[in-house]
Amino acid sequence: MIGHVDSVTRRKVKGWAFNPDDPHVPPKLRCLCNGEFISIIVANSYRPDLEQAGIGNGYHGFELEWDIALDPVKRHVISLVDEASGQELKNSPHMLEAENCFDEEFKNGLSGLLRSIESREGQEQAAGFLLDQAEQLAQRMVETESLCREDDFLDRLPAEKIHPFTGCRVLVLDEVVPAKNRDAGSNAIVSHIESLQRLGMEVSFAAVQYDAAPDLLTGIGVHFYAPPLFRSIEDVLRRNVGQFDAVYIHRTSMAIRYIPLIRYWNPHAVIVYLVADLHAVRMMRQAEMTQDELLWQDAFRTQKAELAAAWQVDTVITHSSYERDVLRTHVPAANVHVIPWAVDADPVSATFYQRHGIAFIGNYKHAPNRDAAEYLINEVMPQIWAIDPTIDCRIYGTGLPKHLVGVRHGRVHFIGPVPDLRDVFLTARLTVAPLRYGAGLKGKVLDSFAAGVPCVCTPIAAEGMDLPLSMNALLGGDTQSLVTVILNLHNDPELYNKISERCLSYIQKNCSRERIDALIKAAFVSAGLQENEL
C-alpha cells in the first residue's frame, strides 16, 4: 500500500492511496478524528497527476468533506488508515492545532452555525451569548494591554511573541474620526498624533462620532477604540482604569464633557487640551459686525466653556499666538503652548507665467468663509476688474451658497470641491483669504504657502502666524489695500517670486516635523510627563 494525505483543513481531507498488489481494487480508508471513527473513504477519484507519475490509471484519489466544520478552538488529530491492512498513509496522523486568530475559516464556520438557528428563542439565546462574549473580549483586550506594563510581563512570554510596548501611552479624544483633507482640524490632529509616535509614545484614539473610516489612523499604527466592542468614550475610559499616562483632548466640547471622567478613571494621567481655535473670539467678531445680540450671548457662554477647560487641564495647545495671549489674559495660570501642525514645503512646478488669476478655498458652511466669499465677489473683485479686467477669480470648496452660484459675477468661476489642492495651486497665481472675522490658524494659508503660492490675507486671516515684516506685502486691512496687494503681486513677477520664496521659507522654519516634535515634547513635559518617558 502506498499513498499520502495531501491536505487537511477543518472542512475536508484530501490525498491518494494505491495498492500495487491489487491495482484494480480501490483501497478503503478509515478516517479517524482524535481516535473517533468519522467515515469510510474509497480512493477512486481520478487525478491526472497520479497517472502522469505512473501510479496506476490515476483513479486513486480521495476527498472527504466534513458534514460540519471542525471546531477551530480545539486541537484535532486526523488519521487515514487502510481498512484491510491497518497501515497508515504517509502524513498521517495529521495535526490541526487550535486556532488563536479570527481567520476567514473561523468566521465562515461561525456564520454558518448562526444561520442554522431558525427558532426565535434560539436566535435570542445566540444574540445574548454573542453580546456577552463581545463584552468579555473587549475587557480582555484592555487587560492584555495593561499586562504589557507589568514588570514581569516579558518573562511570561515566548521569545517569538516579545513585541510589547512598555512606554508612555496616550489616549487621543475627538468629536469625529479625522479624514484626509477634510479640514484643518483633521490635518492638525493627525500631525500631532504622528509627532507623539515619533517621540516614542503609543497612541490610542476614540471619538464620539465614527463618521469616517479609521484607515487614516490605523494605517499609521494608532490603536482604534470603536463600536461594537467599545460603545462610547465613557466605555473606553471605564475599561482602561489607570492605563493612560496622558489624554490629549481635541476641541472645547470634548474637554468640558470628559475632563471629570478622565480625572476619575485615570487620575494620574496628564491632560493636554488642543483648543483648535477660540470659537468665542470668532463669534464676538461676527456679533460685532452683524450687531447680533443673541450671538453676543452665545459668544459669552462659549467663552466661559473655553476658559473653564483651559483652567482645568495641565497644558493647553493653540495654533495661534494671538489666542495664546487671549487665554493667558483670562486664565493667567494656564500653561499655554503655540503649536501649528506639520506641513511639507512642496512648491508647484508651474511658473509665474504658466498660472493666472486668484483662488479662494473654503468650506462655505462656515460663516467666516461664506462672508469672505461674498465680500471678495461683491466688493474686492469689481475694483480689481476696474483696473485689470483679465484677472479671473475661482471659488473652490464645499457648501457653496446657492444665492452666489446662481448669479453671474463677471469673471468669477464657482468650481466647488477638489480632491487635491495641488490642482488649484498649479493654475492660480495667487490665493486670497479675505476674512473679515474668524479665529485661529488658517489651513488654507499654510497649504498655499507650502506650494510656493502667495496668499493675500486680511489681518484676521494672518492672525497668530507671526509673519515677519518681510511678508507684509501679503497683507491688506481694507478693501482698497487688498485690491492694491492683489494687483501688485499678480502683475509683478519679481515681487511675486520674492514673496513666494518667503512663503516657502516660513513653512520650512515653522511647520517642519522636527519643529512640531520639539514643541509637542515641550508641551507634554510641561504638563507633567517625565522627559525620560518620551
Pairwise CA distance, residues 500 & 489, whole Å: 10
- Three cell numbers written together for 276: 483648535
Pairwise CA distance, residues 356 & 128, whole Å: 64
Q: Report the pLDDT averaged over residues 150-157.
A: 46
Pairwise CA distance, residues 297 & 464, whole Å: 25
- The CATH T-level fold of domain 352-511 is Rossmann fold (3.40.50)
CB atoms within 10 A of CB 498: 14
pLDDT tens digits for 194-237?
A: 999 999 999 999 999 887 778 888 889 999 998 878 889 999 99
- Check residues 534 and 115 and name the one with the higher pLDDT: 115
CB atoms within 10 A of CB 532: 6
pLDDT tens digits for 94-138?
A: 988 877 666 676 677 777 778 888 888 888 888 888 777 777 777
pLDDT tens digits for 468-523?
A: 999 999 999 999 999 999 999 999 999 999 999 999 999 999 999 999 999 999 99
State residue 156's pLDDT score: 44
Beta bridge partners of 413: 394
State residue 534's pLDDT score: 66
pLDDT of 142 strictly over 80: no
pLDDT tens digits for 4-59?
A: 999 998 889 999 999 999 999 999 999 999 888 989 999 999 999 999 999 999 99
Residues 6+ apart with CB under 8 A from 270: 245, 246, 247, 314, 315, 524, 527, 528, 529
Reference 482, options 362, 360, 365, 341; nearest CA is 360
Q: What is the pTM of this model?
A: 0.72
Per CATH, the number for 2-96 is 2.60.40
CATH class as words, domain 169-338: alpha beta
- Check residues 88 and 131 and name the one with the higher pLDDT: 88
**Could you tell me if 470 and 498 are in contact, meaning their C-beta atoms sit under 8 angstroms apart?**
no
Angle CA 132–136–141, to nearest 5: 145
Cα 369 to Cα 280, 435, 445: the distances in Å are 17, 7, 13
Reference 17, options 6, 32, 1; nearest CA is 1
Helix (H, G, I), strand (E, B) or coil at 337: strand
CB atoms within 10 A of CB 354: 11
Beta bridge partners of 290: none
Reference 250, options 196, 298, 324, 190; nearest CA is 190
pLDDT tens digits for 389-403?
A: 999 999 999 888 888
Pairwise CA distance, residues 243 & 268, whole Å: 9
pLDDT of 149 strictly over 60: no
The identity of residue 194, as a single letter, is E
The identity of residue 141, as a single letter, is M
**Could you tell me if 282 and 252 are in contact, meaning their C-beta atoms sit under 8 angstroms apart?**
no
Q: Spell out the domain ranges in the chain.
A: 2-96, 120-161, 169-338, 352-511
Tell me if the bond preceding 228 is cis, omega within 30° of 0. yes
- Three cell numbers written together for 344: 511639507
Q: Strand order of the sheet with strand 94-96?
A: 36-42, 28-33, 76-82, 94-96
State residue 10's pLDDT score: 84
- The Cα diameter of the chain in Å comes to 105
The identity of residue 107, as a single letter, is K
SS3 labels along 460-495:
CCCCCCCCCHHHHHHECCCHHHHHHHHHHHHHCHHH
Residues 6+ apart with CB under 8 A from 55: 2, 16, 18
- Three cell numbers written together for 132: 456577552
CB atoms within 10 A of CB 133: 10
Cα-Cα-Cα-Cα torsion 383, 386, 389, 391, nearest 10 degrees, comes to -20
State residue 461's pLDDT score: 94
Cα 500 to Cα 125, 392, 441, 494: the distances in Å are 67, 20, 19, 10
State residue 531's pLDDT score: 75
- Transcribe 255-277 into DSSP letters: HHHHHHHHHHH-TT-EEEEE-SS
Cα-Cα-Cα-Cα torsion 216, 221, 227, 231, nearest 10 degrees, comes to -120
State residue 182's pLDDT score: 67
- Check residues 132 and 345 and name the one with the higher pLDDT: 345
The helix or strand, by DSSP H or E, that contains position 189, with its residue range, turns out to be helix 184-198
Fold equal for 2-96 and 352-511: no
Side-chain-side CA neighbours of 264 within 13 Å: the count stands at 10
State residue 411's pLDDT score: 87
Angle CA 319–323–329, to nearest 5: 145
Exposed / middle / buried, residue 101 (Cβ in 10 Å: 0-12, 13-18, 19+): exposed
Cα 176 to Cα 122, 192, 326, 444: the distances in Å are 37, 16, 27, 21
DSSP state of 320: -
- Three cell numbers written together for 407: 448669479
The helix or strand, by DSSP H or E, that contains position 96, with its residue range, turns out to be strand 94-96
